[in-house]
Amino acid sequence: MSQPTLPMPRAVGAVNWIGLATLIRKEVHRFLKVWVQTIAAPVVTTLLFYAVFALALGGVVRMVGDVPFLLFLAPGLIMMAIAQNAFANSSSSVLVAKVQGNIVDVLMPPISALELTAAYVIGGVVRGAIVGLVTALAIALFIPLQLHSIGFILFHGVAAASLLALLGLIGGIWADKFDHMAVVTNFIVTPLSFLSGTFYSIDSVPPAFRFIAHLNPFFYFIDGFRYGFIGQTDGTLVTGILVMLGINLILGFVAWRMINKGYKLKA
């Protein structure tokens, strides 16, 4: 009588593509299941910001350089929606898994720290991209958006979403409870977002504040993203690209290191 054939262990190469793709799908499905909260709500919030400024102007056309203020404002609002939702996705995913005690389900499979980092970041980028696209389509119903450079829009959209997803991943690993995560949101993400030039031109502020604004990394992805729409910039585009790449590399290394060491992930 022949012996039953035992299943052979699956060979995993340099990259566990199956594990990586599975974790990415899990991240995407997680926010799509509650799309009213994760997609519709941020779009409505952004439209409320736009409505407040539109109503405050009372029909008066104010210019920022050669561009009407509302057209100047729109790309910044879209970028804020992209960035904040990328941050929320990765931070909540890790923190909820830690609080519920099922983070072990992610750590046990043969998935490397780099693959885990990439999956969480890609999940955040996908959510940010969907929210940004829907927000742009909604705003386009009220004001015709220009497209000056698709390349700058795509680069800064992905770079900003990656930066905030990495920051959310680091915050989610560091935080032990939701109150800790609120500290990161209230004292880092929100101030840097509102002081990034989203609602005003950096050229219109005093020189001292202008210098401080150029130290804010959020300024560079807002500025480059806005340039992609209206062709107008407050900073140097090359500097912004280098800053974005540099910060993403640094945050990526920090996130990978924390996961690789099991910092606050392994008992």
Inter-helix orientation angle 217-230/69-100, to 10°? 130
Q: What is the pLDDT of residue 212?
A: 87
pLDDT of 153 strictly over 60:
yes
- Does residue 108 lie within any of the structural domains? yes
Can you tell me the mean pLDDT for 54-59? 84
20 occurs within a structural domain: no
**Is residue 10 assigned to a domain?**
no
Assess if residue 235 is contained within a domain: yes
Report residue 224's pLDDT band, with 50, 70 and 90 as the boundaries: very high
The model's pTM: 0.93
Q: How many domains does the chain have?
A: 1
Domain assignment present for 267: no
In a domain, 4, yes or no: no
pLDDT in tens, 129-152: 999 999 999 999 999 998 999 999
- Residue 17 covered by a domain: no
Look over the chain and give the mean of its residue pLDDT values, rounded to a whole number: 92
Q: Please give the average per-residue pLDDT across 27-52, as a whole number.
A: 95
Q: How far apart are CA 167 and CA 240, in angstroms?
A: 18
Measured in whole angstroms, the distance separating CA 174 from the mean position of its chain's CA atoms is: 18
102 located within any domain: yes
CA atoms within 13 A on the CB side of 157: 24
Domain range enclosing 165: 26-261
